[in-house]
């Protein structure tokens, strides 16, 4: 599904409206509407707003949307406690959504339900492989940066050994699963019990781990000594 198609489908089903009914209201064919909901046909925001208005959605704050806009205007950290969590996490972070002012709850409207279907709480791991935080991200069709959303994680850079690749201590690296070396990629790996991030260089049967603090260092390593945990797909730099 597309983002707009998801939202139209969500609102139609919430109101118990059939494809035939909504297609008639919007003066389009059932097949056209089905293609929109399934992401086979791309429409603009204006057309999507008109469809939602035909279904009875009238609040301006609920129609000024794209999923990115919604995510930007609703506090994800406030919404996050309403997502499923382990018992340990629930004890650590009490639910806050129920205490939101009525005006704020109304402001979210149907988008709270829509966002809950795509938001994932991604753990942040340090070099000792302890979870030290969580961050909330939106998943597209169950995937984040091309990888399964439920296996995505952040790695907290423990030092400046990768500063030459613009990765500094305290930066967060969003990592998606990858169990084999990828030439030229920055990857999270376990080398003899130590978790680290390194750039991968493959040359024939040789594997080099590249780091760069004061100068470039290329460490030859046997493939059997490494467990590859993921490809670093995104860098979130610390400003502190």
Domain annotation covers residue 90: no
Residues 10, 62 within the same domain:
yes
CATH number at residue 16: 1.10.260.40
Q: How many domains does the chain have?
A: 2
Q: Is the pTM of this model over 0.85?
A: no
Instruction: Give me the domain span that covers residue 67.
Output: 3-74+105-116
> Is residue 82 situated within a structural domain?
no
**Tens-place pLDDT, residues 28-48:** 999 999 988 887 888 877 788
Residue 184 clears pLDDT 80, i.e. is over it: yes
Query: Can you tell me the mean pLDDT for 88-94?
Result: 42
User: Are 7 and 112 found together in one domain?
Assistant: yes
Cβ atoms < 10 Å from Cβ of 6: 19
Alpha-carbon distance of 173 to 197, in angstroms, equals 9
Domain annotation covers residue 96: no
Q: How far apart are CA 173 and CA 147, in angstroms?
A: 14
Task: Report CA-CA distances (Å) from 191 to 141, 177, 229, 231.
Answer: 33, 17, 11, 15
Q: Please determine, for residue 201, whether its predicted confidence score (pLDDT) is greater than 90.
A: yes
């Amino acid at each position: 599904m597309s983002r707009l198609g998801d939202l139209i489908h969500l609102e139609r089903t919430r109101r118990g409206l059939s494809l035939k009914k909504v297609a008639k209201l919007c003066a389009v064919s059932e097949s056209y509407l089905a293609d929109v909901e399934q992401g086979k046909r791309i429409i603009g925001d204006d057309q999507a707003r008109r469809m939602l208005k035909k279904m009875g959605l009238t609040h301006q704050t609920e129609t000024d949307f794209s999923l990115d806009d919604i995510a930007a205007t609703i506090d994800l950290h406030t919404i996050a406690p309403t997502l499923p969590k382990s018992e340990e996490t629930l004890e650590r972070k009490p639910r806050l959504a129920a205490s939101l002012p009525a005006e704020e709850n109304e402001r979210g409207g149907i988008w709270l339900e829509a966002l809950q279907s795509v938001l994932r709480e991604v753990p942040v791991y340090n070099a000792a492989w302890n979870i030290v935080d969580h961050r909330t991200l939106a998943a597209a069709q169950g995937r984040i940066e091309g990888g399964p959303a439920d296996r995505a994680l952040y790695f907290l850079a423990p030092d400046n050994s990768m500063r030459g690749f613009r990765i500094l201590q305290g930066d967060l690296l969003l990592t998606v699963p990858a169990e084999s070396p990828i030439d030229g990629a920055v990857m999270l790996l376990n080398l003899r019990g130590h978790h680290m991030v390194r750039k991968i260089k493959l040359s024939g049967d040789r594997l080099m781990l590249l780091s760069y603090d004061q100068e470039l260092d290329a460490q030859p390593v046997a493939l059997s000594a490494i467990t590859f945990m993921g490809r670093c797909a995104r860098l979130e730099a610390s400003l502190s």
